[in-house]
Chains A and B, each alone.
Chain A
Amino acid sequence: MNGAPVTHAYQALVVGAGGAGLWAALELARKGVKTAVLTKLYPSRSHTGAAQGGICAALGNHEEDHWEWHMFDTVKGGDYLVDQDAAEVLAKEAIETVIELEHMGLPFNRTPDGKIDQRRFGGHTRNYGEAPVRRSCFAADRTGHMILQTLYQQCIKHGVRFFDEYHVVDLLIEGGLTRGAVAYRIADGELHVFRSAAVLLATGGYGRVYRITSNAHALTGDGMALAYRRGVPLEDMEFFQFHPTGIVGLGILLSEAARGEGGYLRNADGERFMERYAPTLMELAPRDVISRSMYLEIRQGRGIDGGDFVHLDLTHLGREVIDRKLPDITEFVRVYQGIEPITEQVPVQPTAHYAMGGVPTDLHARVVVDERNTVLPGLFAAGECACVSVHGANRLGTNSLIDILVFGRRAGLEMARYVEGNELPDVPLTAHHRVEDELELLRTRRRGENPNVIRAELQSAMFDECGVFRTKKGLQHVARLIEHLKLRYCQARVEDGGKVFNTDLLDAWEVGYLLDCAEATVAGALARTESRGGHFREDYPERDDTNWLKHTLTYQAEGRPFLRSKPVTITRFQPKPRTY
């Protein structure tokens, strides 16, 4: 079955065409580096486009603001697990990044004097926590859509070479050196080997590991799992963010912008219950705090109609604000819930939203593989699939869009430097055999289990046992289940035996990625006997800086996870109790 694959040679390879990948590609194109971008979708369909509320930068267009305040909010928001050198880069470079986006043509909303408009967002404050500040730059409630469009447009302008609907199925790392990647062309099922000196993983998150998620079906942790399988650790995977305001049952996101513009959360008694949990910031407290508070209300019987949801109340904002600043999410409410948000309250529940963890990198997006930050030459990561770590234990709203762009740009610049001094590495003719054999087995096995059943079991167990609240018992249960599911996955079969556009095969292939990401997540969650940010252990409800002010590194060896750790970089802000 092993035939000769189509081979390509590019100085640089970008895997994934969301904000991080596109900005990296743009920098590479500007430097004249021969670059290919591989995406399993079309670039305009990447999940960056689903981001709604805004991108933060201390522009100070409405009121005084400083990058130091932004940095502090990011560190505190991340419950002090943030690497502060990275947060400093983020907060400083946010400003020039947003200005450059505007210069590229991004249609930001405007202030009356024509500047970029800004609004409040959860956890973003003035003067180190005093009160909310207007820091989120936005384009209605489709900021991510505009960023994705603008960057794709710029890539077209600069002649970036795209390989659309190419699904990356293996990374080529041999002899301690990155050599390229293997991709499966969806249109005809052919394997393509891409030789390359520098490979950027920019594949986004893995929210599809959970039953209820805001994430696209495509978000299956491809880049993380590929790196993990090739010996790269994953960092801080136990920190997964649940966004408070998902549409009940579906998980579709209703942006935090709804609260940034003044929306309230109410329980069954009509109370603004955040008064009890975050009296200063109220509904603009960070997401981990609000999601936990919602569940506490629900547990105490104050969910709406006794159910597992509360209300998002926008009715006092008025039609003008809702139509002009929140048009898309109000349409979601109308389409997916049949509710009119101008006059009715909207049922919401937490939805799995964002991976704080990922492939560990340094400040130049270079992948690092141990506690001494040893660089793996030629491998880079940026965006949600990376962990630099600017989000620590909990990400603030609007910080993901700025993260993908600041570090996507840094990745592109560093890759351009790297390829200048490094030849295209050799790739053996058999490089694709390993993955080809696995794919062929999956495609042609005649008996076996439906992988969709395996995925559904995984998603339910992860949501129930490794969600907002966690316990040792629940995590042990899901850890054992994952081991079992991995064995069953080895015997799964797909129904579609064809070569042309075989989504049955690729959906099944992605289940393998999800299982690896879940394994690392649960291993970290089980080990971390404290509560911090998005990781809350009911059996260890306090933060424990003495034992746990450190990053988790999860490695895979012989199909099992094992853990190491590395220290947190602390520069300006010593850990303090986190209250809002």
Chain B
Amino acid sequence: MQVDLRILRYDPERDKKPHWERYRVESGPMDRVLDLLHTVKWEQDGSLTFRRSCAHGVCGSDAMLINGRNRLACKIRVDQLGRKVSVAPLPGLPVVKDLVVDMEDFFAKYRSVEPFLINDSPAPPRERLQSQEDRERYDDTTKCILCAACTSSCPSFWAQKSYVGPAAIVNAHRFIFDSRDEGADERLEILADADGVWRCRTIFNCSDACPRGINITKAILEVSSAIVERRV
């Protein structure tokens, strides 16, 4: 089917501000939005710029605003959207060029929550044991691919860019609730900051946006509860 594709373009070497451009693209029955972008880039306008790598939803490179929602371009089929498709860069992050946004601040916030196992006790010769229940406890938040769809969909983040954001909290959660980890206190201290979990207004945009289906709002609430419980 023929698709009317609108893309918000911006080239800092040529344009004063972003502008929409329209393309007519033929879409196959199982094509994803990424296929449309490739068709434009390879056949119509080589200067169209976007990130992508794995093309099946596991690397997190091609998160963008598609028909008003943050999604991965490689994971949303055109037939799920209809004949009119609009694509813009992730909201709330500085645009570098076309659909490419600056990720530096996003990754700095990820690093700020100590996203690594903290356990200074001597390791046993074999694996540390963990029950299936304890493993299940943090399973959901291990799925994060750092695509930034959640953080850049969050109105609290748009209003206050210093907010650490849902993705960083998800990655803190992954360790706080890991029975092998001993760094929960440090992380909860970091997230109890004014720019930590309290900025969450439970709007659920993050959970809706997550291409991995992580229940992000629930994870944030669990971290908030853990902070409160430790203070009591």
- Contacts from A to B (Cβ < 8 Å): 41-42, 44-47, 49-50, 99, 102-105, 107-110, 112-116, 139-140, 142, 145-146, 149-150, 153-154, 156-157, 164, 187, 216-218, 249-250, 252, 328, 332, 335-338, 450, 452, 494-496, 498-504
Contacts and interface: CB of A to CB of B under 8 A. Distances in A.
A332 B54 contact: no
A523 B41 CA distance: 32
Nearest to B135: A110
A187 B107 CA distance: 16
Contacts of A142: 58, 143
Contacts, number: 149
B46 A216 contact: no
B138 to A, nearest CB: 7
A504 B135 contact: no
B198 to A, nearest CB: 25
B6 interface: no
Interface string B41-61: 111011101111111111111
Contacts of A116: 127
Contacts of B194: none
25 contacts: A44-B59, A45-B59, A45-B61, A105-B175, A105-B180, A108-B127, A140-B139, A145-B143, A146-B142, A150-B117, A153-B115, A153-B117, A156-B115, A216-B55, A217-B54, A217-B55, A250-B56, A335-B75, A335-B77, A450-B42, A450-B46, A495-B46, A499-B13, A500-B96, A503-B49
B125 to A, nearest CB: 8
A351 to B, nearest CB: 11
A30 B106 CA distance: 26
B232 interface: no
Contact of B135 (A50, A109, A150, A503): A109
B129 A50 contact: no
5 tightest A-B contacts by CB? A105-B117, A495-B46, A114-B129, A153-B116, A496-B47
A47 B54 contact: yes
Contact of A45 (B41, B43, B60): B60
Interface residues of B, number: 58
Contact of A44 (B11, B143, B146): B146
A116 B56 CA distance: 28
A47 B145 contact: no
A47 B53 contact: yes
Contacts of B138: 107
B14 to A, nearest CB: 8
A142 B143 CA distance: 8
Interface in B81-121: 96-97, 100, 103, 107, 111, 114-117, 119
A256 to B, nearest CB: 16
A202 B143 CA distance: 25
> Which among B96, B103, B111 has the highest number of chain A CB atoms within 10 Å?
B96
A146 B146 CA distance: 13
A504 B30 CA distance: 25
A217 B100 contact: no
B89 to A, nearest CB: 12
A421 B139 CA distance: 45
Contacts of A336: 30, 32, 56
